[in-house]
Amino acid sequence: MLILFKFLFFIIVLTAVMSVIRRGREGVLGKSGLLFWLLFWFAALIAVLYPGSTQFLAAYLGIGRGADLVFYSAIIALFYLMFRLHIKIEGIQRDVTKIVRQEALKTTIPAPSSSKKTV
């Protein structure tokens, strides 16, 4: 069962790495992004193929088990990803606003202005 899981995970990592390389070639992913994702998938593959490897790093960081290290790291990574997504979405929202504003001002029909008031 475990061997089947390792095999399936290997296929998933292979697909992901091919996708990362393709996106790098297309210019969608920058050099640092390419390096990050390649290292990420390589580390994930090592952790799955050799579960004992995480134990070493966990012990070095003062965390009891290797599985706990993977779990904590995953939670931190997910929180960070959520944070980045929030910021990205807000940026897109502001771009939408700019477009809506441009369009609104372009199609505005001015009403006849009343006389100038002084206070």
Partner 1 sequence: MIMALVPAFNESRTIASVVKDLLLYVDDVVVIDDGSVDNTADLARGAGAIVIRHSLNRGQGAALETGHDYARRSNADWVIHFDADGQFMASDIPAALAMIKTSKKDVLLGSRFLGNHQIIPWFKQWFLLPMGRLVDRLSGTVRLSDSHNGFRILGRRALDTIFITQDRMAHATEIPGLIAKYHLTWVEYPITVQYHNFGQGTVGGLKIVRDLLISKFL
User: Which of 1, 2, 3, 104 is in the footprint of partner 1 by CB under 8 A?
Assistant: 104
For residue 110, the 8-state DSSP code is P
Size of the site for partner 1 (CB under 8 A): 24
x-or-dash string of contact with partner 1, 43-82, rule CB under 8 A: ----------------------------------------
Under 8 Å between Cβ of 29 and 38: no
What residues line the site for partner 1 (CB under 8 A)? 86-87, 90-91, 93-94, 96-97, 100-101, 103-105, 107-111, 113-117, 119
